[in-house]
Amino acid sequence: MDENKLSYEVVGAAIEVHKQLGPGLLESVYHQCLHRELKLRGLDVKSEVPIGASYKGVDIDTAYRMDLLVTDKLVLELKVVDRLAAVHEAQLLSYLRLSGKKLGLLINFNVPVLKEGIKRVVNNL
């Protein structure tokens, strides 16, 4: 499945989680529930995936952690904030660059309608 079709499936799963839970919970709750929903849909999903970095010849094994990685293609960064900020998008773009992935979704569950809280971030797609 390519990144675009995969992102469509993931957005559907996120909407289902948001429909069931609504806004206002902790990020960890949405994280666990979205992980479960993606598994129920038959998708391979990994949680808290470490990302390494390198600085002047020194490797840093676990510089960052991706919230969720779906089918080794799509990076999900989950938030529960009043509104998404530029720093959130920059964070996801950094994850994409460091991991070599092409597409990520920034999902803010703290919104009345989830589609208002989803931002698509691309890295040379």
Q: Which domains does the chain have, with CATH numbers?
A: 3-122 (3.90.320.10)
Residue 39 vs residues 33, 34, 45, 89, 108: alpha-carbon distances, Å: 10, 8, 7, 26, 20
Residue 76: pLDDT band (50, 70, 90) is very high
Q: What is the pLDDT of residue 36?
A: 98
Query: Which SS3 state, helix, strand or coil, does residue 100 take?
Result: coil
- Residue 33's region, left for phi above 0, alpha for psi from -120 to 50, else beta, is alpha
Q: How far apart are the first and last CA of the chain?
A: 15
Q: What is the pLDDT of residue 44?
A: 98
Q: Which of 68, 71, 49 is nearest to 5 (CA)?
A: 71
Residue 125: pLDDT band (50, 70, 90) is low
The answer to whether the predicted template modeling score (pTM) of the entire model surpasses 0.85 is yes
Mean pLDDT of the chain: 95
DSSP state, residue 109? -
Q: What is the pLDDT of residues 22-35, one digit of tens each?
A: 999 999 999 999 99
Residue 61: pLDDT band (50, 70, 90) is confident
Q: d(Cα 25, Cα 34) in Å, to the nearest integer?
A: 13
Q: What is the mean pLDDT of residues 82-93?
A: 96
State the CB neighbour count (10 A cutoff) for residue 39.
Answer: 12
